[in-house]
Amino acid sequence: MGATRIPGNITQGSTAKGGIGESTLRPDGTLKVTGEFAYSSDMWHEDMLWGFTLRSPHAHAEIKSIDTSEALAQAGVYAVLTYDDLPTDVKNYGLEIQDTPVLAHGRVRHHGEPVALVAADHPETARRAAAKIKVEYVQLPVVHDEQTALAEDAPLLHPGRDDHHAGHVPHPNVVHRQPIHRGDVAAARARADVIVSGEYVVGMQDQAFLGPESGLAVPAEDGGVDLYIATQWLHSDLRQIAPVLGLPPEKVRMTLSGVGGAFGGREDLSMQIHACLLALRTGKPVKIVYNRFESFFGHVHRHPAKLWYEHGATKDGKLTHMRCRIVLDGGAYASASPAVVGNASSLSVGPYVIDDVEIEAVALYTNNPPCGAMRGFGAVQACFAYEAQMDKLAAELGMDPVEFRRLNAMSQGTLLPTGQVVDSPAPVAELLRRIKAMPLPPERQWETAGESADVRALPGGLSNTTHGEGVVRGVGYAVGIKNVGFSEGFDDYSTARVRLEVVGGEPVAVVHTAMAEVGQGGVTVHAQIARTELGVTQVTIHPADTQVGSAGSTSASRQTYVTGGAVKNTCEAVREKVLELGRARFGSYHPAWATAELLLESGKVVTDGGEVLADLVEVLEGEAIDLELEWRHRPTEAFDLHTGQGNGHVQYSFAAHRAVVEVDTELGLVKVVELACAQDVGRALNPLSVVGQIQGGTTQGLGLAVMEEIVVSKEAKVRNPSFTDYLIPTILDTPTIPVDVLELADEHAPYGLRGIGEAPTLSSTPAVVSAIRAATGLALNRVPVRPEHLTGT
């Protein structure tokens, strides 16, 4: 075994080709199918120690005392750290509000909160030593829902709040509240011929990425630390880590290691600071790897939500107004709750035209597990509710649910409830038309399959189902809207460094960004952009690290837009430098150097007319062009705290789903036969990856619809932290997912592209539930829908 195992450059074989618009394969693909790709849990350093985290068994308790002496005395134990060992005055961290203690101080606020750390020479030794830490707890009353959180005498999760939301919230246990008012709801309501309302509930979903939180911290000779980590945003981590360690940012050198899935769950810190603290304390490399149980406590979840909605419509099917109240349970710490509130409120109306609205969204502080980012956050919860409402309205009006939606669909030019004009294509009606026009899978396949029933085609397959008598087909539709990129005035930018040089007689581009590749295929797209813009075949992807400027987060469907945009922008600047060099060296040989539009293609400088002027190799002549540039999308602005008005978003993403389900009403089993998706992607930079993202998001939405929920007891304790008890879809639960991709360019975005990763997660869930409702006639106002909700009792 070598001295270390850490990430390295990724260079695709010389057979790799393909610029934007082509379905090129992943540059890291071969490494991933051979097992060579180095994930964060694979990091290894000679002489390294293993860290372990002692967590609170209680959801809410005062810590009277912590005695670490017995743990420290164990053979093989190098360090035991508690709050008192934190080296500086900075003892909290957080994405937006720094309310999360690095280690608990006097009080634990949720089940599984980190209390102490151990470093030992073996993971089992560390685990056993942690069990010998004596913590004296006095349990406190638990805040576990809206009623207990907002009671006048409710225990305050964070007394003495001084964050920027503290001043405007109605109760200190409200993290953030965003109202949006537009138009005259009373007047519009009076015009309505039908009014429907409903209360909807979304359970707590987990990202459940397959690769648990892990990383390796290596103390450096300069007193700093090198951290190899799986995260979604290196620089955000860095901003939170360095002050706690008391180190300047340049002494905390972070390198992205292989990320085993993220889906929002790696936006917050987990073991980053802990590993660094132990490494700096012991002077030895420290690796921390969570097990699955711990992973369920080690990251935030999707906010469970209660949503009350009222819509009205005229008898000819035009929406009159909407009122809604969305209550999101943020759990013990703020995490991304403020942004979740922003999305939930500003997108609560869905992709529809409604001029008169009264909207309120709040996120609560409770003693439940902290909730934050998960694919589609805020918008996922709202979409489940407003799409259920659309079905109800259509039924009430006796209209086709798709036609009703089309009649009210937003389009380019629509004014959002926030007063913002949708200034790029919004083909909502067209997506609905396409999804409805797709051919339906054959009915009752078990009957057409032959003489005897083909029970494989039934819900749950052979072992699960009845013979078909009680099996009812249902079809459901849904459509959603998701904002792309960071909203509400956040300075959302990315940085790309591109180096072009001749290696072995061939021009090679090295692309270096801090973008977290989490499986979305960002590095594939970067290589494609570099090939397109620089006319090279060979592209090397430098490991993502903090030696280059921030790329922002791999979340909010933003990376292809923003870091893709940054790579394109830097490539264009590099190309300009190449052309400058070329003009200087060869300009006198051909007038086109001065007059023509010049491009780089196939390793050559060519005119837009296709005339070859020079070889890139000759132009560069041993020189390397190396540029690092920042790139940002159009600025956004914050929503007004009272009216909710403001140009808060930069781009939107739309997807529509049609679910075809067969429900065994006697056994409560649901088979999703097909889950078709139509989505506008602006421009498909890599069609293969686009389809993969859409199918993946759709599958996670399916999981929320019929099985996924973290069960939290009345005592605010997690009851199912395992893959036996928290079920995610298997391959057998996943139907065929036909994808219809629409490409209507957004002129404001690089190549006209649109962020795509989240939209399919939104509409998948309500489409499936709509189809189950159609099959069963049940109201089903809560997800996930389980067998017990379908059989009745």
| Binding to other proteins, residues 10-29 (CB under 8 A) | 23, 25-26, 28-29
Using the minimum distance from each CB to other proteins, give the nearer residue, 293 or 586.
Answer: 293
Angle, helix 379-397 to helix 401-408, in steps of 10 degrees = 110
> What DSSP character marks residue 682?
S
| DSSP per position, 486-547 | --TT---EEEEEEEEEEETTEEEEEEE--B--SSS-HHHHHHHHHHHHH--SEEEEPPPBTT
Give the orientation angle of helix 401-408 with respect to helix 428-437, to 10 degrees: 160
Crossing angle of helices 759-776 and 687-706, in 10° steps, is 40
Asked whether position 689 contacts other proteins by CB under 8 A, the answer is: yes
What count of other Cβ atoms lies within 10 Å of the Cβ of residue 715?
14
Considering the rule CB under 8 A, would residue 464 count as an interface residue with other proteins? yes
State in angstroms the smallest separation of the CB of 306 from other proteins. Answer: 20
Which region among 361-369, 378-386, 562-570, 726-734 touches other proteins (by CB under 8 A)? 726-734
Binding mask 260-279 for other proteins (x = CB under 8 A): xxxx----------------
Nearer to other proteins, 28 or 533 (CB): 28
Site map (CB under 8 A) of other proteins, residues 691-720, x = contact: xx--xxxxxx-----xx---x-x-----xx
Question: Which of residues 71, 393, 429, 759 is near other proteins by CB under 8 A?
Answer: 429
Half-sphere exposure of 198 (CA within 13 A, CB side): 20
Number of residues that make up the chain:
793
Q: Give residues 366-425 in contact with other proteins (rule: CB under 8 A).
A: 409, 411-413, 425
Give alpha helix (H) positions in 299-354: 337-346
**Site residues (CB under 8 A) for other proteins, limited to 199-258:** 207-212, 258
Asked if residue 275 lies in contact with residue 51, where contact means CB atoms within 8 angstroms, the answer is yes
| Bond prior to 123 in cis (omega within 30° of 0) | no
Nearest approach in angstroms of CB 259 to other proteins is 6
Residue 733 interacting with other proteins (CB under 8 A):
yes
Shortest distance in whole angstroms from residue 11 CB to other proteins: 14
Residue closer to other proteins (CB basis): 617 or 741:
741
Within 276-315, the residues that bind other proteins by CB under 8 A are 289, 291-292
- Asked if residues 443 and 451 have their Cβ atoms less than 8 Å apart, the reply is no
Contact between 148 and other proteins by CB under 8 A: the answer reads no
Q: What is the DSSP-derived secondary structure letter of residue 455?
A: G
The residue among 84 and 469 lying less far from other proteins, judged by its C-beta, is: 469
- Per-residue contact flags (x/-) with other proteins for residues 110 to 129, judged by CB under 8 A: --------------x-----
Side-chain half-sphere of 404: how many Cα atoms within 13 Å? 25
Q: Is 521 in the site for other proteins (CB under 8 A)?
A: yes
Query: Based on CB atoms, which residue is closest to other proteins, 273 or 737?
Result: 737
Nearest-approach distance from CB 65 to other proteins, in angstroms? 20
Residue with tokens 């001295």: 3
CA distance 25 to 534: 19
Residues 650-669 that bind other proteins (CB under 8 A): 666-669
Minimum separation from the CB atom of position 343 to other proteins (A): 22
* 470 touches other proteins (CB under 8 A): yes
166 forms part of the interface with other proteins (CB under 8 A) = no
Pairing of strands 100-101, 49-55: unpaired
CB of 742 to other proteins, least distance (A): 4
Q: Does 455 bind other proteins (CB under 8 A)?
A: yes
| Angstrom distance (rounded) from CA 368 to CA 715 | 9
How many angstroms separate the CA atoms of 203 and 786, rounded?
Answer: 12
Q: What residues from 34 to 63 belong to the interface with other proteins (CB under 8 A)?
A: 34-39, 41-42, 44, 57
Alpha-carbon span 351 to 530, nearest angstrom: 35
- How many positions of this chain bind other proteins (CB under 8 A)? 117
Is 32 among the residues that bind other proteins (CB under 8 A)?
A: yes
Residue among 194 and 744 whose Cβ is closer to other proteins: 744
> Nearest 5°: CA angle at 345, between 782 and 341?
85
Q: According to CB under 8 A, which residues from 768 to 787 bind other proteins?
A: 786-787
With binding defined as CB under 8 A, does residue 134 bind other proteins? no
**Which of 211, 243 has the CB closer to other proteins?**
211
Neighbours of 154 (CB within 10 A): 17
Among 434, 436, 531, 657, binds other proteins (CB under 8 A): 434
The Cα–Cα gap between 253 and 221 comes to: 12
How far is it, in rounded angstroms, from Cα 415 to Cα 423?
9
CA-nearest of 27, 173, 170, 42 to 99 is 173
Residue of 576, 642, 722, 777 interacting with other proteins (CB under 8 A): 722
